[in-house]
Amino acid sequence: MKTSRATEAEGVPWVRPAVAALEGYVPGEQPAGTARVVKLNTNENPYPPSPAVRTAIEAEIERLRLYPPPDAAHLRHCAGKLWDVDPAGVVVGNGSDELLVLLLRTFVEPGATVAYPAPTYSLYSTLIEVQGAVVHEVAFPPDFDLPRGLFDVPAALLLVCNPNAPSGTRIDTAALGELARSRRDAVVVIDEAYADFADGDALSLVGSAPNVVVLRTLSKSYSLAGLRVGFALTTPQLARELHKVRDSYNLDRLAQVGAMAALEDQATFRRNRECVRATRARLRAALLTRGYDVPPSETNCVLARSPGRSLLGLMEKLRLEGVLVRWFVALPDALRITVGTDQEIDELLAALDRVGPA
Ligand SMILES: *Cc1c(COP(=O)(O)O)cnc(C)c1O
């Protein structure tokens, strides 16, 4: 919600100016109650998580009396093995959102600059402002390739969401490696929230470049957005600094064992990933047929564009049809549509055909 900042802070003279000036992040709508909606607005996975998660969490309940392992050693080893990263370079977080906060606290002084290609994940600017740092958005070129401006903007930290949302597009790993090598003055964070849906990733840069941090999350590809588990993959040296600023118990017991169970069940993970990728191809083809521009997507969402028109009205019409999709001020000619089940996508397309000229 856009609110008047000055009036909101009135009567609260104790608040930090950086916080008073904030608008606050607005997450995608999470409908309450039992109303049946086709929810394609927050890039959740439409399939249930591994059944092993339930078993692991149930067995852990009797140990809730005890604090969780502060070093999450088992989970970090499990993640290190899966992604071929030294477990000493793995930091776990309460979602990758928390890891973004820890990265800013660790590497960005108030007043310093954080740069990233835009449009992208809109939480970045909020978190940077909370840290009292300066947001520097570098516009993506029309094809959403790496903006050359990132090579020379002054910045303490560079943030690249790759594959990117809402565009769905991916920047080549070689270009990111080149960026990391030429920007030894900055920490280069590659937010790979969607990498499991993509045709490539930047894991090879972890450890080979001393200033690279790759972020992963279980929220999208492992169907565990509600469990809140993310990973920072980096060098043991950077990880040691990140550990200093995190809460000792930032991942609760249920999250630690649930995450491990999910990572160990690669069969369920792969099956769900392949379903999402297949439906994504079908959704893109159907949107192209209907006259939308749709960049090739390597995420679990697609961007449907209708250049020169605002699709805000279409988003609202779809909502009345019980179909939630996302519209962004920064990309008014587009709708971001999460890849749901085949049935959900059929319902979306039927609703589009009822209400929407392309
Ligand atoms: C969903 C998302 C996240 C948040 O991940 P959590 O682990 O749920 O906090 C981070 N970055 C991007 C780009 C995302 O799309």
Q: pTM of the predicted model, to two decimals?
A: 0.94
Say if residues 307 and 276 touch (Cβ distance below 8 Å): no
Q: ∠ at Cα 212 (24, 114), nearest 5°?
A: 35
The predicted structure's pLDDT at residue 34: 67
The predicted structure's pLDDT at residue 314: 97
The predicted structure's pLDDT at residue 25: 80
CA 302 to CA 333: how far, in whole Å? 13
CB of 217 closer than 6 angstroms to any ligand 1 atom:
yes
The SS3 of residue 150 is helix
User: CA dihedral defined by 315, 319, 323, 325, rounded to 10 degrees?
Assistant: 40
**Tally of residues, the chain:** 358
Element (H, E) at 169: none
Atom 2 (ligand 1): residue with closest C-alpha? 193
For the stretch 186-244, pLDDT in tens is 999 999 999 999 999 999 999 899 999 999 999 999 999 999 999 999 999 999 999 99
The predicted structure's pLDDT at residue 12: 86
CA 72 to CA 98: how far, in whole Å? 15
Return the best residue to mutate from 219, 301, 328 for the ligand 1 pocket (most ligand atoms within 8 A of CB): 219
The predicted structure's pLDDT at residue 272: 98
For the stretch 45-97, pLDDT in tens is 999 999 999 999 999 999 999 999 999 999 999 999 999 999 999 999 999 99
Atom 6 (ligand 1): residue with closest C-alpha? 95
Widest Cα–Cα separation across the chain? 58
pLDDT band at 9 (very low <50, low <70, confident <90, very high): low
φ and ψ at residue 350, rounded to 5 degrees: -65, -40
Q: How far is CA 88 from CA 62, 67, 212, 249, 333, in A?
A: 29, 22, 15, 17, 44
Q: Tell how far the Cα of 354 is from the centroid of ligand 1, in angstroms.
A: 32
Q: Which of 18, 29, 11, 2 is nearest to 338 (CA)?
A: 29
Q: How many CB atoms lie within 10 A of CB 354?
A: 10
Angle, in degrees to the nearest 10, between helices 266-289 and 253-264: 80
Q: Tell how far the Cα of 230 is from the centroid of ligand 1, in angstroms.
A: 8
